[in-house]
A and B are shown apart, each in its own frame.
Chain A
Amino acid sequence: MSSEHIFIYTLVLMGLLGLVGAIVLYLTAKKFKVVEDPRIDQIEGLLPGANCGACGCKGCRDFACECVRRGNLDGLTCPGAGAAAMKNIASILGVDSVDAARNIAVLKCNGSCGARPLTYEYDGASSCAVMDAVGCGTSACSYGCLGCGDCVSVCRFGALRIDESSKLPVVDEKTCTGCGVCVRECPRHLIELRPEGRRNRRVWVACSSRDKGAVARKICSAACIGCGKCAKVCPFGAIEVTDNLSYINPDLCKACGKCLGVCPTGSICATFENITKDKATE
């Protein structure tokens, strides 16, 4: 048998085998075809793909399936996708879009290096969870930020970073989606999701210390001492002091900024310029 024959036989044989295989595959694909709603793929395309779990589903694909299965958006929101994407998803499903307020993470601790002297040494594993399990951290405050950046490492959107000078995490307002993964991660529960607020104006108490005023002040110069001045000055009754700690209710707060001026320790933070006492009275 010459080499030409071998070549031709091989070609024919392999071609036939390929043909049989193709027919089998074609028939199998026909027989076991799964009809999937094309909207699932469309919706998934609009989602951020971070699989953060903020919606309560197992991931972005699961969220898309759930949307299509229910046929409406009741109780289903993806904070990561944003309002515009949610509107598009609603239009794909043919339902009215629900306006959900955008939430942004804020840190309820302002104990930067300058405000809170480091009193203890810690040479264990660099993780807030480990640090919290063995003691109180490097400062005397047993409520404040530990600064190892567990929140930074879990953020899927890169919206958190540790500030070099203050050693506290900083939230990037633009990229934060309010998914809440960092809220669950922080061993000291220092991160809170607060509504974005009108014209991006937000006011919050940047302290979580429940120590008595004198003790808290000794440990950290930026601590809330529970004096209640802010609660007195608030015209909307949005501020309440419990356990030596003030809390601003975001539903009642109108972000007027009056509390900022009266706080003796500067533990109230805002996203806008502080109105000084004089200006407020003028």
Chain B
Amino acid sequence: MRYSFKIGGIHPAPNKIASRRIEIFPLPMRASLPLTQHIGAPSKAIVGKGDKVKRGQLIAENSSFVSAGLHAPVSGTVVGVEDIVMPWGKSSRSIVISATEEEHLEDSHDREKYWCDMIPSICDRSLSERLTADEIRTKILQAGIVGLGGATFPSHVKLSIKPEQKPEVLIINACECEPYLMCDDALMCTYPGRIAEGVELMMKAGGIPRAVIAMEDNKPEAAAAMREALQENKDISLRILKTKYPQGGEKQLVEAVTGRRIESGKLPLSVGVVVNNVATAFAVWQAVATSQALIERVITVTGDIAAGERKNYMVAIGTPFSSLPLTLPGEAIAIVGGPMMGRSAVRLDAPVMKGTSGLTVLKRPERRQPLACVRCGACVDACPMGLEPYLLSTYGRLRMWDEARENDVFDCLECGACSYSCPSDRPILDYIRVAKQRAKL
């Protein structure tokens, strides 16, 4: 029996067509690092124009508890703290670092050594036994680690659990239910042992007795690799789930793995569960075992039309998308993230951020004019939260914020299953998003 969440869900074509190898992508000569790459208060820049920085050095610190630090992905000189245009066209305050030729060569050499020295498959348990929970949490905080699945919630906050909150199980989200994207898949195939160690460190840091790595059944290679790495380990188990979108949604995942439902407005911890992404586990291992801060991550460059090679790259945070080897034909659109939850990118000179999981290049879809809602209920059937998307969307369009609030608009996780399933091509999610923004006021 394959596990899954019960209500709603859709089955878009998975299109996992990129290669599973991770290619180390060269460091950029110029990196821009937005100060808001995570949920919470923006980081505070502690370097100024003209300062020399080293690769891995802290350049912006936490401004409050729910915040994350930023580290220099390349050695070089700070050009300034200025507004940089994000992929979707809005600007954001960023630190810009420019490297010279020598610095670039030295960094590249160090980095090559770092990745070559890494033994991928052996799981060494001594590390998590040697360190205390506080030490691990401090390391996570110092490395500026945030949730790498896309929500970018600071990890040290998630793992600051009081014993009376009774955490029972740590779920490692390796579902990657978003079509096209394969960065987590590639990471699990390449560094399964390191991920397992990262999971152990997280369990120790949060005082969680048990962990479950959950993935969809369309990743047999990754499952085999993880199973081998976890052979000796009794506390971490593997759970294969049905391929169904959005299996990786936090509440859906908790339901699929434990059968528990999280109440509206509550956190997974209310049912004794902590959810973290698999890439975050790897980043935690990097931070604790190799003292490398979160300065690079795996992203998938993929799509359905000629977009160079479809590959997974280990790129430094702050690398501009335009330096990736891809050509964009005129009839193509680029999406930062996957096609379901990603955002359309209009500026490819924007940098890769901590929460960027990929770049998807798709053939421009023919947009049909939205027709009238026929009350077929397809969106209601598709909604994984059991909401009535057509109704919430109408409230958003008619500016009925109170009614939207009463109908639990804040439970919406913006997965897009409603817009995907609508036979009338109505922009359902767009208006729900508006309602979510305005109903807060």
Q: Which residue numbers of A lie inside 8 Å of B, CB to CB? A: 119-120, 123-125, 127, 129-130, 133-137, 140, 142, 154, 185, 211-212, 215
Q: Chain B residues with Cβ under 8 A from A130's Cβ?
A: 427, 430-431, 433-434
A120 touches B431 (CB 8 A): no
Among residues of B, the one whose C-beta sits closest to the C-beta of A123 is B367
Known: A136-B89, A136-B90, A142-B91. A154 touches B399 (CB 8 A): yes
Among residues of B, the one whose C-beta sits closest to the C-beta of A128 is B434
B399 touches A120 (CB 8 A): no
A134 touches B83 (CB 8 A): no
**Chain A to chain B: the 6 pairs with minimum beta-carbon distance, closest first:** A136-B89, A125-B427, A135-B88, A130-B430, A129-B434, A142-B90
16 contacts between A and B (CB under 8 A): A120-B89, A120-B346, A123-B367, A127-B430, A127-B434, A129-B434, A134-B430, A135-B88, A136-B89, A140-B85, A142-B89, A142-B91, A154-B399, A185-B399, A211-B91, A212-B83
Known: A125-B370, A142-B91, A212-B83. A135 touches B343 (CB 8 A): yes
Bound complex: CA of A130 vs CA of B346, how far in Å? Answer: 16
Q: Tell me the B399-441 residues at the A interface (CB within 8 Å).
A: 399, 427, 430-431, 433-434, 437-438
B367 touches A133 (CB 8 A): no
Bound complex: CA of A125 vs CA of B435, how far in Å? Answer: 14
Among residues of A, the one whose C-beta sits closest to the C-beta of B92 is A142
The verdict on B121 contacting chain A, using a C-beta distance below 8 Å, is: no
Among residues of B, the one whose C-beta sits closest to the C-beta of A131 is B430
Q: Chain B residues with Cβ under 8 A from A124's Cβ?
A: 427, 430
Among residues of A, the one whose C-beta sits closest to the C-beta of B430 is A130
Bound complex: CA of A14 vs CA of B184, how far in Å? Answer: 83
Q: Chain A residues with Cβ under 8 A from B90's Cβ?
A: 135-136, 142
B431 touches A134 (CB 8 A): no
Bound complex: CA of A215 vs CA of B89, how far in Å? Answer: 13
Closest chain-B Cβ to A107's Cβ sits at a distance in Å of 20
Q: Which residue numbers of B lie inside 8 Å of A, CB to CB? A: 82-83, 85, 88-91, 343-344, 346, 367, 370, 397, 399, 427, 430-431, 433-434, 437-438
Closest chain-B Cβ to A278's Cβ sits at a distance in Å of 38
Bound complex: CA of A212 vs CA of B91, how far in Å? Answer: 11
Bound complex: CA of A137 vs CA of B85, how far in Å? Answer: 13
Among residues of A, the one whose C-beta sits closest to the C-beta of B393 is A125
Q: Chain A residues with Cβ under 8 A from B88's Cβ?
A: 134-136
Q: Chain A residues with Cβ under 8 A from B434's Cβ?
A: 127, 129-130, 133
B344 touches A134 (CB 8 A): yes
Closest chain-A Cβ to B117's Cβ sits at a distance in Å of 42
A133 touches B433 (CB 8 A): yes
Interface of A is mostly: loop
Q: Chain B residues with Cβ under 8 A from A136's Cβ?
A: 88-90, 346
Bound complex: CA of A127 vs CA of B393, how far in Å? Answer: 13
Bound complex: CA of A125 vs CA of B344, how far in Å? Answer: 15
Q: Chain B residues with Cβ under 8 A from A123's Cβ?
A: 367
A125 touches B430 (CB 8 A): yes
A140 touches B430 (CB 8 A): no
Bound complex: CA of A130 vs CA of B433, how far in Å? Answer: 8
A133 touches B430 (CB 8 A): yes
A125 touches B346 (CB 8 A): no
Among residues of A, the one whose C-beta sits closest to the C-beta of B366 is A123
Bound complex: CA of A99 vs CA of B205, how far in Å? Answer: 65
Closest chain-B Cβ to A100's Cβ sits at a distance in Å of 26
Closest chain-B Cβ to A187's Cβ sits at a distance in Å of 8
Closest chain-A Cβ to B203's Cβ sits at a distance in Å of 38
Bound complex: CA of A90 vs CA of B88, how far in Å? Answer: 53
Among residues of A, the one whose C-beta sits closest to the C-beta of B82 is A212
Q: Chain B residues with Cβ under 8 A from A215's Cβ?
A: 83
Q: Chain B residues with Cβ under 8 A from A129's Cβ?
A: 434, 437-438
Closest chain-B Cβ to A149's Cβ sits at a distance in Å of 14
Bound complex: CA of A135 vs CA of B430, how far in Å? Answer: 12
A137 touches B438 (CB 8 A): no
Among residues of A, the one whose C-beta sits closest to the C-beta of B346 is A120
Q: Chain B residues with Cβ under 8 A from A185's Cβ?
A: 399
B427 touches A140 (CB 8 A): no
Bound complex: CA of A125 vs CA of B431, how far in Å? Answer: 9
A135 touches B427 (CB 8 A): no
Bound complex: CA of A140 vs CA of B349, how far in Å? Answer: 14
Among residues of B, the one whose C-beta sits closest to the C-beta of A244 is B83
Identify 18 new A-B residue pairs, CB closer than 8 A, beyond the known A135-B89, A137-B89, A215-B83: A119-B346, A124-B427, A124-B430, A127-B430, A127-B434, A130-B430, A130-B433, A133-B430, A133-B433, A133-B437, A134-B88, A135-B88, A135-B90, A136-B88, A136-B90, A142-B85, A142-B90, A212-B82
Closest chain-A Cβ to B334's Cβ sits at a distance in Å of 12
Closest chain-A Cβ to B311's Cβ sits at a distance in Å of 27
Bound complex: CA of A185 vs CA of B346, how far in Å? Answer: 26
B91 touches A135 (CB 8 A): no
Bound complex: CA of A84 vs CA of B268, how far in Å? Answer: 59
Bound complex: CA of A124 vs CA of B370, how far in Å? Answer: 10
Closest chain-B Cβ to A239's Cβ sits at a distance in Å of 23
Q: Chain A residues with Cβ under 8 A from B399's Cβ?
A: 154, 185
Closest chain-A Cβ to B332's Cβ sits at a distance in Å of 13
Q: Chain A residues with Cβ under 8 A from B82's Cβ?
A: 212
Listed residue (B343, B367, B430) with the most chain A CB atoms within 10 angstroms of its CB: B430
Q: Chain B residues with Cβ under 8 A from A127's Cβ?
A: 397, 430-431, 434
Bound complex: CA of A142 vs CA of B344, how far in Å? Answer: 15
Q: Chain A residues with Cβ under 8 A from B370's Cβ?
A: 125
B344 touches A135 (CB 8 A): yes
Q: Chain B residues with Cβ under 8 A from A119's Cβ?
A: 346
Bound complex: CA of A119 vs CA of B88, how far in Å? Answer: 12
Bound complex: CA of A135 vs CA of B434, how far in Å? Answer: 13
Bound complex: CA of A142 vs CA of B346, how far in Å? Answer: 13
Bound complex: CA of A106 vs CA of B90, how far in Å? Answer: 24
Bound complex: CA of A169 vs CA of B159, how far in Å? Answer: 50
Bound complex: CA of A135 vs CA of B83, how far in Å? Answer: 16
Closest chain-B Cβ to A236's Cβ sits at a distance in Å of 32
Bound complex: CA of A56 vs CA of B242, how far in Å? Answer: 52
Bound complex: CA of A134 vs CA of B427, how far in Å? Answer: 12
Closest chain-A Cβ to B42's Cβ sits at a distance in Å of 16
B91 touches A134 (CB 8 A): no
Among residues of B, the one whose C-beta sits closest to the C-beta of A137 is B89
Closest chain-A Cβ to B367's Cβ sits at a distance in Å of 5
Bound complex: CA of A225 vs CA of B88, how far in Å? Answer: 23
Q: Chain A residues with Cβ under 8 A from B437's Cβ?
A: 129, 133
Q: Chain B residues with Cβ under 8 A from A125's Cβ?
A: 370, 427, 430-431
Among residues of B, the one whose C-beta sits closest to the C-beta of A139 is B89
Q: Chain B residues with Cβ under 8 A from A211's Cβ?
A: 83, 91
